A and B are shown apart, each in its own frame.
Chain A
Amino acid sequence: MLSESILRELREVLGGKNVLSETEDLLTYAYDATAAMRRKTPDVVVAPKSTEEVSQVLNIAQKYGLPVYPRGSGTNLSGGTIPLEGGIVLSLLNMNRILEVDTENLTATVQPGVIIQDLNNEVALHGLLYPPDPGTVTTATMGGSVSESSGGLRGLKYGVTKHYVMGMKLVLADGKVIKWGGKTVKNVTGYDLTALFTGAEGTLGIITEILVKLIPAPETRKSLLGVFDDVDKAGRAISAIIRNRIIPATLEIMDNMTLRTVENFTHAGLPIEAEAVLLIEVDGYKEVVEREAALVEDVLQQEGAVEVKVAKDEQERERIWFARRSALPALAQKKPTTVLEDATVPRSKIPEMLKAIREIAKKYDLLIGTFGHAGDGNLHPTILTDERDKEEMARVEKAVDEIFQVAISLGGTLSGEHGIGIAKAKYLPLEFGEAGVRTLRRIKEALDPEYRLNPGKIVLRKE
C-alpha cells in the first residue's frame, strides 16, 4: 500500500479518476496473457493522458523510489507487463489518439494507446496498410507492439514491427523527454535509437508517441492449402517456394496434432491424416497474384503434396484462415494451461525443428502441438498442460529448456515475436553469452541505473 501523500501527488497530476488504488481494481493488473505466471498486484495504477503527465509520474516514482510498469492492453505472452515488484502500473490506454496520417510521406503518427486495428481501419480509408499483424491485432496497442516488436502472419513478405518504426517521443527513467526520427526514408543521424527502443519491452523508456511507416494496401490476395503426408516434404516445399523467387505474404504450417485438435474443434473438413499442412497467401496486383498462386500450386505439387486446395472465393479463403486462427484456442481447450513458445529458426531448418519438438514431446511425455509462421521460421510449439500438476510442470520446464537449446543450436533465437519478459529472461545467456548479457545490462544501466522501468524483465540486476 502506498502512503496517502504519494497517492495525493499522483491524483494532483492525473486527476482522481485516472489513479486506481482500490484492491478490487489493482487485482486486475496482476497478470497479462502469459500462462503459468505468478500474479503480482501493483500498489497503484495510473493512466496519464499526455507525455507531460507521464514525465511527472516518473518524477514522482523517482522521488519515492517506486518501480514503474508500462502497460497497454496486457496481451503479451512473456510476462512483460506483470508488476513483479509492485509499485506503479502505468497504463497508456488513455493516450489513444491517431495524431496524423500523412498520405504523401506514407506515415502515421500515433499515441501508444492506439489499438493496431484502429490504425489500420483509419489508414485503409486512404488505401494504405500498416502491415504488422500479431494475432492480437484487434486488442493490442501500438505502444505494446512496438515495445515487443511483434510480428504476426505477414512477417515473411512485410517484415515485423521494427521495420515500420521511423521515430518516437519517449520519456526516460529520470522523467526527461526525448524525441528523434522523422518522415525521411533516409536518416543516419546519431545512434539508431529507434532500433534500441523498439522491442525494449518498456525497460529503457516509456514511449509516448510513435511515427510509423505505411505502405499501399495490396490490390488483391489469394489463399492456398497444401496437404502433406510427411513433415520433411512440407519443409522442402517451403524452401522450394522461396527458391522459385516467390515471397508469399503468409506461409503457415500446422502439424498433425494441431490439425486433429483444430478439426475436432471447428469441423472445417481438415485432413486429419495429414502430417502437416501449409497455408499460403499471396497478395499484390491482380495479375501478379494469379501468376504467383499458379506457381505456388505447381511447386506444392512437385514437392509431393497429397492435395492442393486453392480458395475460389472469399468464403473458401475465410475457411482456410479460420482453421489457422483456431489453432491456439483449439489447443487451449484440451488442457487448462497452454504454454505457447515462439522459438524461431532459419526457415531452412523448419523440418529439423519440427522433428526435434516431436522428440522432446515424446521424451517428456507431453502434449505439444506445433503451428506457426513457417515462412519466417517462427514456430509456436504449444505445450498443453495443467499448472496445478507440479510434476508435469517440472517436465514442461525441462522440455522448454530443450526446445530453446535446439533452436539456438540450429542458428535460431529464443524469441521471434513474443519478447523475453520474465518468461525467458533466464535463457538469455544461452543466446548472448555472458559478455553479451553484460552488454545488455550496461545499456540498461546507462539509461535506467535504478532499474526503475519494468524491473525484472529482460536483464536482471546483477546479484
Chain B
Amino acid sequence: MGIYSTLTSIEGELHKCMKCGNCQAVCPIYKETRHEVGVARGKISLVEALLSGETEMTEGLSERFSLCTTCMACNANCPCGVRFDRIILAARAEAVRQKGLHSAKAIAFGALKRQGLFDLGLKVGSVFQGVALKRIPGRKSGSRLRFEVGMGQTKVFPNLAKRTLRSELPEIVRPAGTAKMRVAFFTGCMINYFYTDMGKAVVEVLIENSLEVVIPNGQGCCGIPASVNGDVESARVMAKRNLREFENMGADALVVACSSGGSAWKHVYAELLSDEPKWRALAEKWAEKSYDIAEFLVDRVPFKEEGLGRVERKVTYHDPCHLNRGQGIYAEPREMLKKIPGLELIEMKEPGRCCGMAGSFSLTHPELSDQILERKIQDIAQTHTDTVATGCPACRLQLASGVENADLQEDVVHIVQILAESYRAGKLEPRV
C-alpha cells in the first residue's frame, strides 16, 4: 500500500528521523514562525503521536499538517535521508480520509475533476474577473483582489486568458519538413488558463527544433493540487484521465513546462495508482518518457544553437522546488540560458529557496506565503538584473506578484520564453 492509501506506509521514514533538528536550518516556514510545529521534526512527532494513539486526528492536527510548502529543503538537509515530503503527503491523505476535505477545496477539486465545467467557469470568469479583481493601473497584466476573502489582498494574480491555450492551438502542430519525433505537451492548468504565452513558447521552440507537437484536448488538471491536499480520490480520477488521453494520442515523449506537472507524470501517478497494477504499469510507462522542457531540450533532444539571436537580458534564475529537488533539474535550465547570445546570468543568493507559492498554500496561508516571498524578492533585488527566469508557472505567478509589490523593474518569465525570444531574434538578424 502506497503513501496515499495508508499512514502506516511511512513508518519506515518516521523511524529514520533522529530528531536532530537539522531541518530547522532550511525550512522556509519555520524561519518565519519559529514554532516547532512549522518544521519537519515537529510534524513528524505529530504523526508519531497519531500512530501511537497518543492523539487522534483533529481539525487542529490537519491544520498543522497544512503548514508545509513541500519544498523538500528538509529532505536535502537531512543527515538521515528522511523523505519528509512523503510523510506529509501521507498525513494529509489520512486527514482527509478521517476528517474530510476542507469545503472550499472540495468544491475546487470537484470542479477540476470535471474539466468541462471548470473550463466554463473560467471562461465566464475571464469576462467577469473585473468584478472580483482590480487591474493594476499601467500594467498589461495582473490584478489584485478587490475584497478580503481570507486569502489576503496583496497577491497579484495574472489575468485569465481570453482564450485558453488548448482552444487556441490545434491538437497537433507539425513542423515544416520531417518531424524528428512526436512530442506530447502536457500544458497544466496555469499555462492553459493564465500563462498561454508560456505554452505558445513551448510549442514554438519544439517546432523550431523540428518536432511534432501533440496537445491532447482531453487532458486536464495534473491532480497535484488534490494529492498534496490529501484528496487522493480526486487525484486518482485526474491521473487516470490524463494517462488515458495521452495513451490514446500516443507520443515518443511527453514534455511539461510546469514543475508540478512534471512531478505528477514522473513520480506521483505511479504512486497514486500503486494499488491498481494495470494503471500503475501505464503510469510507469509514461513516467519513463516524461521530461521537463529544459531537461528535454538539453539532455534528450539538444536544442539547435544555430539560429539563436541576441537577447540582451540580465537574468537571474529561481529554482522551482519541485524541479530542483523534486526532479534533480537545476543544471539544465542554466545550461540553456548560458547558450543564449547576449544573455548574462547572475545567480541570486539561495536560488533554490522556496518562493512560498506552493499552490493552494499561498491562498490558505497568505501571510506566511508573503513573508517567505519577501526574502526571495530581497535576494532578487540584490542581483540588479532585469529578468527573473524560472521553470514553473506557479513560481512565476508568485515571483511576479512579489516583484510587482516591491516595485522592481523585472520581467518574470519561464526560461523557454527566453529561448523562443532568442529564436525570434535570430530570424531578424542579418545572415552573415
Chain B facing A: main interface SS: helix
Residue of B nearest to A93 (CB): B34
Inter-chain contact B19/A27, CB cutoff 8 Å: no
Render B69-113 as a binary contact track against A, CB cut-off 8 A, 1 for contact: 000000000011100000000000000000000000000000000
Inter-chain contact B34/A27, CB cutoff 8 Å: no
Inter-chain contact B34/A138, CB cutoff 8 Å: no
In the complex, A24 has a CB within 8 A of chain B = yes
Residue of B nearest to A71 (CB): B36
Inter-chain contact B21/A333, CB cutoff 8 Å: no
Inter-chain contact B45/A75, CB cutoff 8 Å: no
Inter-chain contact A33/B20, CB cutoff 8 Å: yes
Inter-chain contact A20/B35, CB cutoff 8 Å: yes
Inter-chain contact B19/A328, CB cutoff 8 Å: no
Inter-chain contact B45/A28, CB cutoff 8 Å: yes
A205 CB, nearest partner CB in chain B, Å: 22
Inter-chain contact A96/B19, CB cutoff 8 Å: no
In the complex, A50 has a CB within 8 A of chain B = no
In the complex, A31 has a CB within 8 A of chain B = yes
Question: Per a CB cutoff under 8 Å, which of A96, A139, A326 touches B25?
Answer: A139
Question: Per a CB cutoff under 8 Å, which of B18, B36, B54 touches A332?
Answer: B18
Inter-chain contact A28/B79, CB cutoff 8 Å: no
Bound: A34/B21 CA distance, A: 11
Bound: A138/B283 CA distance, A: 40
Inter-chain contact B24/A73, CB cutoff 8 Å: yes
In the complex, A453 has a CB within 8 A of chain B = no
In the complex, which residues of chain A have a beta carbon less than 8 angstroms from the beta carbon of B79? Answer: 325-326, 328-329, 332
In the complex, which residues of chain A have a beta carbon less than 8 angstroms from the beta carbon of B34? Answer: 47, 91, 93-94, 96, 113
Q: Contacts A32-B19, A332-B79 hold; do A25 and B37 have CB atoms under 8 A apart?
A: yes
Inter-chain contact B36/A74, CB cutoff 8 Å: yes
Bound: A266/B19 CA distance, A: 21
Inter-chain contact A28/B21, CB cutoff 8 Å: no
In the complex, A338 has a CB within 8 A of chain B = yes
Inter-chain contact B36/A29, CB cutoff 8 Å: yes
Q: Contacts A91-B34, A94-B34 hold; do A28 and B42 have CB atoms under 8 A apart?
A: yes
In the complex, B282 has a CB within 8 A of chain A = no
Inter-chain contact B20/A75, CB cutoff 8 Å: yes
In the complex, which residues of chain A have a beta carbon less than 8 angstroms from the beta carbon of B20? Answer: 33, 75, 136
In the complex, A439 has a CB within 8 A of chain B = no
Write 10 A-B pairs (CB below 8 A) sorted by A numbering.
A24-B64, A27-B45, A28-B42, A34-B19, A35-B18, A35-B19, A93-B34, A329-B79, A332-B80, A333-B16
Residues on B lying within 8 angstroms of A by beta carbon are 15-16, 18-22, 24-25, 34-37, 41-43, 45-46, 49, 54-55, 58, 60-61, 63-64, 79-81
Residues on A lying within 8 angstroms of B by beta carbon are 20, 22-25, 27-35, 47, 73-75, 91, 93-94, 96, 113, 115, 117, 136, 138-139, 325-326, 328-329, 332-333, 336, 338
